[in-house]
Chain A
Amino acid sequence: MRFIGKPLVFGLSLTPFAWLVAATFGVYGLSLGANPVETLLEDFGTLGLRFTMFALAVTPLRRLTGLNWIAQFRRMIGLFAAFYVTLHFAVYLVLDQGLALAPVIEDIVKRPYITLGMIALVLLLAMTATSTLAARRRLGKRWQKLHNSVYLVGILGVWHYWWQVKSDITEPAIYAAVLTGLLGIRVFWRWQRQRRVKPPVAAASPQSAA
């Protein structure tokens, strides 16, 4: 599994990218449609959001199924989330806005959904830059703190999507439900853990002492 697993996950994660590149060049009769910039923008954004969800699903899936070996893919999946979100931003910056900085800055400052997206991108890039073992060792406890921001990235990503939809909120609502499940199960586990720890605390409370 060790020698097949990672290349397999890598290949699968890269498939949608290859597909979109093929469509960009019209290979196999594929096409990006009448508005190719919009197609790339939306598809990379959706992929970024999905890979963020996949990354957030690894730990719950591992705990629920006992398949501990899937933990080895978590970093790669997270890096693909950053990869697709970066492409999403690059398409916006270069193809959509033509590198015109004034409107881009105006968007980031004035349009809350773009502000949210930018914060998520910066957090993802910070996690990418510190994704190596060496960086993990160097940062010590602060590493975990920084990488816990993946929860925030999930929330910002869904919010960003929800906020720019015109009226049909079906799709962002699905992502919101999945995210609620992925974060909710963590909250539930934490609550359970605290409850297990509580009895001795209760025994030492002033009432029992008295």
Chain B
Amino acid sequence: MLIKRPDPIRPSEITSESNYLNRRQLMAGLAAGIALPACSPQAAELPAEGELANVAKSPYSTDETPNSYEDVTTYNNFYELGTGKSDPARNAQYLKPRPWSIEVSGAAENTGTFDLEDFIKPHQLEERIYRLRCVEAWSMVVPWVGIPLGDILKRFKPTSDAKYVAFKPLVAPEQLPGQRYRTLAWPYREGLTIAEAMHPLTIMAVGVYGRVLPNQNGAPMRLVVPWKYGFKSIKSIVSISFERNEPATSWNMSQPREYGFYANVNPEVDHPRWSQATERRIGGGLFAPRIDTQPFNGYGQEVASLYDGLDLRRYF
């Protein structure tokens, strides 16, 4: 639908795309030309809003051009804030991402409830520019800021019983008005195998475009698993649990024939109602052709070995 929408952030506050890209080039130049003193990881500061400081670059970033800040923050699937693509941006005001705490439970030595700031602090923030492929056959390139999930999880010392990690977001219909309607069984549930969770590509994102994550993108903290369909990357997380058995996941519970636990991007396995062979890259305008979808969303070299011997047609 056609929507004229007020800007939640003043345009002057946003780093322009061109400045942002210039800065990245500058950083790349610095990295290549001058040997910086070996830097120890900087403790991550997570302000409530604005720019994030001390964000390191990462070799895992793609050099594809990121989508605009506007595309990334106005075209979202976040059913807790409404089922339309522009609903999350419109309803973002209701979500209160501070103060925030995360409960860690299950098969680990250090469990308990942690403040968001303490949760993030020991780590170095990294920029990860990733392709995002939605199960609905559209895609974007998003410059996330986050922390490798594995680094976070190791601090809780998972035991040998921890075969899976389960995630849940906040349940609070007054903050997430979409939860008033049973479009899905709330809370939303997602999970990964421990190997997927520990993989260096998997991050816990706290920002985008060098800034604190906007509410509609899953503030204050969301998963990003770039080789899986977007619905695996659960938003606004309040609960992390180490599990012995495969956890139930929301879309699989809702339509088991259409959405599997693994949900790896796979052009060979169609969704029962549409093809997954191609995708529409957001931002190309009216006449941009669809592009071919890559196995594992182009991250096969890094992650395909996680699934050796697994029938990807059956475990879709």
| A contacts, CB < 8 Å to B | 19-20, 23-24, 29-40, 42-43, 95-98, 103, 106-107, 111, 113, 163-164, 166-168, 170
Contacts and interface: CB of A to CB of B under 8 A. Distances in A.
Given A33-B3, A34-B71, A36-B285, A166 B86 contact: no
Given A19-B2, A29-B4, A32-B2, A163 B74 contact: no
A170 B82 CA distance: 12
A95 B2 contact: no
Interface of B: 1-4, 67, 70-71, 74-75, 79, 83, 85-86, 136, 138, 181, 183-184, 254-255, 273-275, 277-278, 280, 282-283, 285-287, 289-290
A103 B183 contact: no
A6 B277 CA distance: 46
A163 B3 CA distance: 26
Contacts of B83: 167-168
Given A38-B85, A38-B138, 15 more contacts: A19-B2, A23-B2, A33-B75, A34-B70, A34-B71, A35-B75, A35-B138, A42-B1, A96-B290, A103-B277, A163-B273, A167-B83, A167-B183, A167-B254, A168-B79
B283 A34 contact: yes
Chain B at the A interface: SS class: loop
Given A35-B85, A38-B138, A167-B184, A106 B275 contact: yes
B275 A30 contact: no
A34 B280 contact: no
Contacts of A40: 286
A29 B6 CA distance: 12
Interface centre among B2, B70, B75 (most CB of A within 10 A): B2
23 contacts: A30-B2, A31-B4, A33-B75, A34-B70, A34-B85, A35-B75, A35-B138, A36-B286, A37-B286, A38-B85, A40-B286, A43-B2, A97-B290, A103-B275, A103-B277, A106-B275, A107-B274, A167-B83, A167-B183, A167-B184, A167-B255, A168-B181, A168-B183
